Structure 1
Amino acid sequence: MASPVYFTDFRSKGKSILEKLEKLVLKAGLETINFEKKFVAIKVHFGEPGNVAYIRPNYTRRIVEIIKRLGGLPFLTDCNTLYKGRRSNAIDHLQAAHENGFTPETVGCDLIIADGLKGSDYREIEINLTHIKKAKIGTAIADADIFISINHFKGHEMTGFGGALKNIGMGCGAVPGKLEMHSNSKPKVVTEKCVGCKMCELNCNHNAIKVNEHHKAWINYDLCVGCGQCVAVCRYDAAQVVWNEGGNTAWKKIDEYAFAVVKGKPHFHINFLMDISPDCDCWSSHDAPIVPDIGILASFDPVALDQASVDLVNQAPVLAPSKISDHHPHYDPSSDRFQLIHPHSNWQEGLAYAESIGLGSRTYQLLRVE
């Protein structure tokens, strides 16, 4: 069976785009979920300061208003990042969100960083899949009754594109979970950055990291299980990830984490195909969009949603100047846009694997909402 994916464009025709968004999600079936007195996690990317391609708070507010009207208790949420940017701990993360316009006053609900102050607050969700046996999901997301994702669709250096699956899987993993998705090695200590504060030692559950007589941390790899707790708590970027996971395996781990996030609970997903930049939103800047703004899509099926989104991008004309027009001035119009900008990525394999584990279907029916 083809999964229904609902689509509306950005032509206003006398209507507010917010009105069109509301009509879209209701037509897609959002109100069929029983929201009454349920905690609703709305997963968004608050935007790395300096990058302005993130979804405007106005759109999230309209979804919040609908959920409240249906009796739900919504909150906006995200997990801390593995890299040391403006969103690597809850205090900086919330300040970045506020700076980018996401405040309780503007969005109509509270903001909760799902994996806590340092990224180490998580629930283990048992899934027993090929790569992940127990996914480490941010506590506030794991504890929510209902899960909604609002996703900015764009290119991505490792996975080809970032959409619903990437925002759900990687985005909802606590810091140790992100380490698990990004690396097949245990963390390392960069000695010259270590100040001997002992936070890693105090927070290691396996007694694997110690500060020596020279006030430098070192890891006993016989005891280390690669949980990433030291990476999460280190404030000096001394405990670091070994970035060595290949794109295809990382995609599969992301899919398995997404499977864990939605396991056993109602879920619904929205993709915004606007400001479609070539690279990840986690950079503190963004490049020119590769294609024009296309529209908004909504579905209960995140796999079908991402497949429909990538298909629409590949059908759209390439903009100039952009990363595609600059690097491929004589590109074939039928070329895969994401392969042009990230030739070593394989987004097809990511979607195929998500389908194979029962996360959704790549076969979809696109239903237009005016």
Structure 2
Amino acid sequence: MEKAKVYYTDFRTKLGEGLPTKLKRLIRAAGIGDMDMENKFVAIKMHFGELGNLGFLRPNYAKAVADVVKELGGKPFLTDCNTLYVGSRKNALEHLYCAWENGFTPMTVGCPILIGDGLKGTDDVEVPVNGEYVQNAKIGRAIMDADVFISLNHFKGHEMAGFGGAIKNIGMGCGSRAGKKEQHHNGQPSVHQDKCVGCKSCMKECANQGLAFDETTRKMHIVKENCVGCGRCIGACNFDAIDFSSWAAVKDLNCRMAEYAKAVVDGRPNFHISLIVDVSPNCDCHAENDAPILPNIGMFASFDPLALDQACVDACLACDPLPNSQLSDNMAKPDFCDHHDHFENSTPDSEYKTCLEHAEKIGIGTRSYELVFLK
């Protein structure tokens, strides 16, 4: 396969040009204008950050991308899907309040904000994948309804996937709550009896008679012989009483993410942007962000999400770790085992190579790239 072009610029600015303007120059140079956006709905997928986390991308960057889309005649909206875990983004109302508190409003970003999988995370579309790990990906409906797809990624570490970049932002991020369950978990959910209030809201979402209500205890139970593990009951519960206990292995998670990402980008124009800034050791889904493990490197853009991820990894591995960080602390331990990889040294139980390998195998893109520097 021919090398993919990845465009890159650093965070140096000249007098009179701020970073949002420089980002606009970068994505124009990378060819975003070659996509037909005239009167098209354009989904800009990003992470709004969990409450308490300050490592997420600033709204100014989102506005820069939305402004370019509008200049090209498109109708942009920022989007993300609800989370599977307990937090401040598990339904659309809390998700929007979280986004607003973190600075993302139509006024600050210049376009609407839509939660891709609806109020309770159950508004999804099954997209055929026929992959090794996923048959049908459950993607947020608003994201699949868009004519053009753009990912705007905060490139940082991740406690399971090694790093979070384009493929994770697309694959995991665009999955509905049921889709996230399929990627993260194996098996069936369980009901925490101490949290269940007996409201029966979950039963309305179950299409397989996988739930039964005990009239004596006034609590819900899983009917194991009927439950298919779709996770829709989790999205319907407002009391965090339903959860999964069987987690997927890291390799399975990585490969499922890649197949989900392919479901999102296949068959329509797509473009991808990653910023290596505030490289926290963990995901922006955390309600905190630890000190960066690596220095701020720059902004990258490409039509190929896999080449983009590979270029960002290579740029990170070429840098020296920052002191007083999780990475430097690990490297200073007496029993430190050097993996010769900053992300694996930061979180030894994580790994990302299976994701990149599987993404290339299934045809998302190529890991071979030409880096084009923009001053």
Q: CA deviation at 1:367?
A: 0.6
Residue of structure 2 equivalent to 1:49 = 51
CA deviations over 1:316-357 (Å, ceiling 9, x no partner): 111111111112128899921001012122211110100000
Are 1:232 and 2:235 counterparts? yes
CA distance, structure 2, for counterparts of residue 23 and residue 152 of structure 1: 19
Letter of the 1:279 partner, please give it. Answer: N
Contact persistence 1:198–1:210 (CA under 8 A): no
In structure 1, C-alpha distance between the alignment counterparts of 2:224 and 2:339, rounded to whole Å? 49
Alignment-derived partner of residue 7 in structure 1: 8
Mark the runs of 5 or more structure 1 residues left unpaired by the alignment.
none
Question: Partner of 2:194: helix, strand, or coil?
Answer: helix
Aligned to 1:93: 95
Give distance in 2, aligned partners of 1:183 and 1:325: 31
Q: Is the 8 A contact 1:314 1:334 kept in 2?
A: no
* Residues 1:192 and 1:334: Cα distance change in structure 2 (over 3 Å): closer
Q: Among 362, 368, 371, which residue is 1:363 paired with?
A: 368
In the aligned structure 2, how far is the partner of 1:152 from the partner of 1:242? 28
Count of residues paired in the alignment: 370
| Other-structure match for 2:318 | 315
The match for 1:122 is: 124
Q: Percent identity?
A: 49
Q: CA contact under 8 A between 1:195 and 1:215: conserved in structure 2?
A: yes
Q: 1:195 to 1:334 in 2, by over 3 A?
A: closer
**Residues in 1 aligned to 2:127 and 2:204: alpha-carbon distance in whole angstroms:** 25
Letter in 2 for 1:342: T
- Report what 1:255 is aligned to: 258
Aligned counterparts of 2:120 and 2:245: Cα–Cα separation in 1: 19
Q: 1:74 & 1:236 partners in 2: Cα distance?
A: 33
The corresponding residue for 1:197 is: 199
- What residue is the counterpart of 2:65 in the other structure? 63
Secondary structure at the residue paired with 1:191? coil
Per-residue CA deviations over 1:240-274 (Å, capped at 9, x if unaligned) read: 12242011100000001000011111000000100
Please give the residue correspondences for 1:258-297 in structure 2 after superposition, counting only pairs within 5 Å.
Answer: 258-297=261-300
Q: What is the aligned partner in structure 1 of residue 78 from structure 2?
A: 76
Question: TM-score, structure 2 length as denominator?
Answer: 0.97
1:9-48 equivalences under 5 Å are 9-14=10-15, 15-48=17-50
Letter in 2 for 1:341: S
In the alignment, the residues of structure 1 paired with residue 339 and residue 36 of structure 2 have an alpha-carbon distance, to the nearest angstrom, of 43
1:203 Cα deviation after fit: 1.8
Return the alpha-carbon distance in structure 2 between the equivalents of residues 11 and 243 of structure 1: 46
8 Å Cα contact 1:231-1:241 kept in structure 2: no
Deviation at 1:17, TM superposition (A): 1.4
Aligned-partner Cα distance in 1 for 2:68–2:263: 26
For the aligned residues, what is the CA RMSD? 1.3
Residues 334/211 of structure 1: CA separation in 2 closer, same or farther (3 Å cut): closer
Relative to the length of structure 1, the TM-score reads: 0.98
Q: Measure the CA separation in 1 of the matches of 2:352 and 2:234.
A: 28
| Residue 137 in structure 1 maps to residue 142 in structure 2 | no
User: Counterpart of 2:251 in 1: which secondary structure?
Assistant: helix
> Counterpart in 2 of 1:246?
249
Which residue in the other structure is 1:207 paired with? Answer: 209
Query: Is the CA contact (8 Å cut-off) linking 2:167 and 2:261 kept in structure 1?
Result: yes
* Alpha-carbon distance in 2 for matches of 1:35, 1:302: 19
C-alpha distance in structure 2 between counterparts of 1:13 and 1:321, whole Å: 30
Q: Distance in 2 between matches of 1:308 and 1:243?
A: 33
**Equivalents in 2 of 1:272, 1:156: separation in Å?**
15
Check 1:334–1:7 CA distance in 2 against 1; reply closer, same or farther (3 A cut): farther
In the alignment, which residue of structure 2 is the partner of 1:180? 182
Q: Distance in 1 between matches of 2:368 and 2:13?
A: 29
In structure 2, stretches of 5+ residues that fail to align are none
Distance 1:63 1:77, change over 3 A: same
Structure 1 consecutive aligned stretches of length 4 or more whose deviation exceeds 3 Å:
330-334
Q: Is the 8 A contact 2:339 2:345 kept in 1?
A: no
Conserved in 1, the CA contact under 8 Å of 2:331 and 2:338?
A: no
Rounded Cα–Cα distance in structure 1 between residues aligned with 2:362 and 2:210: 34
Aligned to 2:356: 351
